[in-house]
Chains A and B, each alone.
Chain A
Amino acid sequence: MMKLTRRAALTLSAAALSVSLTLPAMAQTAEPVAGGTLRVSVNITPQVLNPMLVRTNPEYMIAEMLYSGLTTLGHDMTAQPDLATQWHANADASEWTFQLRDDAMFSDGTTVTAADVVASFEKLLDPETAAPGRRNLGPIASVAVGADNSVIFTTDGPFADLPVALTYPTAKVLPESVIDAGFESLAQTPVGSGPFRLAEFNADQSVILEARDDYFVEGLPYLETVEVLTFPDAAGSNTALLAGEVDMMLDVQPTDFERISAADGIDGLRTPSGRFLDVVMDTQVAPWSDPRVREALSLSVDRAAMVELVAEGYGTPGNDSPVNSAYAYYADSPVKTYDPVKAKALLAEAGYADGLSLELVASEKPGYRSAMAVVLREMAKPAGFDISVKTMDHPSYLEQVWKKGPFYVGFYNMQPTEGTIFNLLFTSDASWNETKWNNAAFDALVDEADKTVDPAKRAELYADAQKLMREDVPALVPVFFDLLGAKAAYVENYQQHPRGANYALHRVSLSADAPTR
């Protein structure tokens, strides 16, 4: 197939393996039927079309259909080829060369070139663009056009995860000409090299996309049309799927999942994920500056019951580290036990023998933020925590509490790598250092792992980092949520991606017994 360097060969053989694993068994016995319309329901209306500015899962899905990136994220969290066919790094992983495919075409008929890629990443990294995820791409120092249709990324120091970091949903490639003159026009008129083109954008109602026949992967996409429909209310969305008005629901509420999955002709979709709720404590101020108080709270949570009550059982208990089994370098550990007696003793030791009154803030969105706060309030009562719950509207939460408050409920999507989630939330120079934990030992472990290429060594470093979080509890991470979705049985080759931001609808097909419309 392709000529590979040694390191890339390693990456790619793993990639090829994961691709064949991710395709459902059915697809191997019969060639998918081409054609048909898939109607997908989403619960947040897609508002932003410019791929560098997208922020919500439905917007990620549409951007993924219209545009391509250099690499895309596999189900095993490794980088897979997209516009780049192969890649390799220099010896210390501080300079990366990505070889581009030469048959990718933008929807305006021009070919995707290395200059387009360079211009795109420069635009993404420009603070003026205000692209979400600018800080998630890694320590990129410069991007340059290389020889033979390749692009060279230089990072500040070694960065082993660059190919994975570049799968970030906003990291899409745009034509240089559009970036220079008409970046704003992307809000209405997409120009991308993805498998679909935009047919209709009816704000707040539907987005209709049509297959491109010049997509660079031969034979894809299978579907002829995809309609993305917004249902702000879960009751309406459930009814629409059950009544056959839509073929697929991107998100199903935990409370509805059992009923929907049991319906005739509907497949419930459930995938363990690293999506989590946490309770953020400002470790610089009392009482959270005392590790004994944090440990006391950590002992005041019945984690199994929490999964039941907050996620309706569709999740896994967490151990106060944001890394769970969905990640590559998860270090297994027994679930912390619920021990209010020990918690009470710890509180007394810390000088709060008479208990501790606290206000826990939770944004109203999504609903399980406040659900967890209310359950935590009840669970922590016996230990002497008197927690009052304050639910806030999301805008006020973002402006007044997030990254500022001493005690609130956070909610985060899974990230592609351990490094991304740690550098996002828990290192001293994290983008959103909300706990202000600033633990030097932890920083050193994460930094070392970022630079390390050897998987065994990385596993060790990340295991130590997770252990440190488990013991010192900068934040309480009691629940990981499974991703829940649903589809009609005739929708084939769709598989939920644990990261929750990738969809691969160009690989989806409808079986022969799908209703024709």
Chain B
Amino acid sequence: MSFLKTLIRHPQGAVGLFLTALVLTMAAIGPSIAPLDPETMHFANRFEPPSAEFLLGTDWFGRDLLSRMMVGAQSTVLLALLATIIATTIGALIGIISGYLGGWLDEGIMRIVDAIMAIPGLLFALLIISALGTSALNAVIAIGIAFAPGMARISRSVTLQIRALDYVSAARSRGENSLWIVLAEILPNVAAPIIVEATIRVAFAIMTLATLSFLGLGAQPPSPEWGLMISQGREHMFRSPWPIIVPGGAIALVAIGFNLLGDGLRDVLNPKSEH
């Protein structure tokens, strides 16, 4: 609780917390409170600006943008969270094990991690999606795999620092169970930097998902995923800017929210920045 209090007192952390809470709430209850069906086409009301009937206007098929944005929050945010969770789990597992065990195994794993990191993330995601087929879920898996090596690097370096600490060395020399050491001594200490990094990664994941949708490799129509909404809205942007402004604004808020929260968490969790 004291941690939350510190976070709320931190200006960036507070704003970030507020924005992410807002977005997560939207993802949770958006679909049930959306004013209109997100897929119903109002043929007579294409490209409407915001009005009493359509609060944020309509798109090229005459679909209500507010409702689409609210329903889309679910897929957009959950997909990004899922991608980050995949990346974090795989990365942390590999990084901690590799760092803890050390030796030739560590060396080998890190060479593979280096090789994957040397392939630009977006390109690697493109390759994986081409192999798995185009779908939102495959995009999530691809981003998860593409982001994992970065998380592995961070977890490993933190693990190495902690492993060298006296109390861990002591536990090792006492012959304590490796699994126990990892779970009890290393994991709690590695958690903080990993959470900070993961929070910022969510924003990256949303951007990458949107970019994949732009390249036609992410979510597919008629999904109201925000990146797809923007990329399709781009084709109509000279007839009406609203189909881009609405999901674009939403993405911007989420990205800023998770970035601020990540920065806040870093300052709060990282003793170096404490006054």
Contacts and interface: CB of A to CB of B under 8 A. Distances in A.
B234 interface: yes
A396 B133 contact: yes
Interface in A300-343: 305, 308-309
Interface stretch (B96-104, B154-162, B215-223): B215-223
Interface string B22-46: 0000000000000000011101001
A391 interface: yes
B89 interface: no
Interface string A451-474: 000000000000000000000000
Nearest to B236: A255
Nearest to B43: A305
Nearest to A367: B235
A371 B46 CA distance: 15
Nearest to A391: B220
B217 A393 contact: yes
Given A309-B41, A375-B41, A375-B61, A253 B221 contact: no
B133 A255 contact: no
A378 B134 contact: no
B146 to A, nearest CB: 18
A309 B221 contact: no
A256 B238 CA distance: 8
A373 B220 CA distance: 12
Given A364-B216, A375-B61, A259 B238 contact: yes
Interface in B222-267: 222, 232, 234-236, 238-239
B60 interface: yes
Nearest to A302: B43
B62 to A, nearest CB: 8
B235 A255 contact: yes
Interface string A349-387: 000000000000000110100110111011000000000
Contacts of B270: none
B133 A393 contact: yes
Given A235-B234, A378-B40, A393-B134, A370 B220 contact: yes
A390 interface: yes
A258 B239 CA distance: 9
Given A391-B220, A392-B133, A378 B234 contact: no
Count class of interface residues, chain B: 20 to 34
Nearest to B39: A378
B238 A374 contact: no
B61 A374 contact: yes
Contacts of B216: 364-365, 393
A374 B222 contact: yes
Contacts of A414: none
Contacts of B41: 309, 375, 378
Given A305-B43, A393-B216, A253 B235 contact: yes
Contacts of B61: 309, 374-375, 378
Query: Which label, helix, strand, loop or mixed, suits the secondary structure of the A interface?
Result: helix
B189 interface: no
Nearest to A369: B221
A229 interface: no
A39 B61 CA distance: 35
A93 interface: no
A340 B46 CA distance: 23
A389 B221 contact: yes
A381 to B, nearest CB: 9
A234 B41 CA distance: 25
A308 B43 CA distance: 9
Contact of A392 (B40, B134, B232): B134
B134 A396 contact: yes
A235 B214 CA distance: 13
B221 to A, nearest CB: 5
A305 B220 CA distance: 23
Contacts of A396: 133-134
B5 to A, nearest CB: 47
B169 interface: no
A371 B221 contact: yes
B192 to A, nearest CB: 40
Contacts of B60: 255, 309
A229 to B, nearest CB: 21
A419 B154 CA distance: 66
A253 B239 CA distance: 13
Nearest to B222: A374
Interface string A205-231: 000000000000000000000000000
A395 B134 CA distance: 10
Nearest to B63: A378
B235 A370 contact: no
A393 B130 CA distance: 8
A383 to B, nearest CB: 16
Contact of B222 (A234, A367, A389): A389
Contact of A370 (B43, B221, B234): B221
A390 B239 CA distance: 27
Q: For B133, B222, B236, which residue has the most chain A Cβ atoms within 10 angstroms? A: B222
A417 to B, nearest CB: 34
Contacts of A364: 134, 216, 220
Interface in B137-164: none
Contacts of A392: 133-134
Contacts of A305: 43
B138 to A, nearest CB: 10
Nearest to B237: A235
B76 to A, nearest CB: 17
Interface in A255-275: 255-256, 258-259
Q: For A235, A259, A378, A389, which residue has the most chain B Cβ atoms within 10 angstroms? A: A378
A364 B231 CA distance: 13
B66 to A, nearest CB: 18
B220 A377 contact: no
A308 to B, nearest CB: 7
B67 to A, nearest CB: 14
A33 B114 CA distance: 62
Nearest to B134: A393
Interface in A227-255: 234-235, 253, 255
B139 to A, nearest CB: 12
A255 B239 contact: yes
A309 B232 CA distance: 14
Contacts of A367: 232, 235
9 contacts: A253-B235, A255-B239, A258-B239, A367-B232, A375-B61, A390-B220, A393-B133, A393-B217, A395-B130
Give 7 nearest A-B pairs by CB, closest first. Answer: A391-B220, A374-B222, A393-B134, A370-B221, A364-B216, A255-B235, A378-B41
Given A255-B60, A367-B232, 18 more contacts: A255-B236, A256-B235, A258-B239, A305-B43, A309-B41, A364-B134, A370-B221, A371-B221, A373-B221, A374-B222, A375-B41, A375-B61, A377-B222, A378-B39, A378-B61, A391-B221, A392-B133, A393-B134
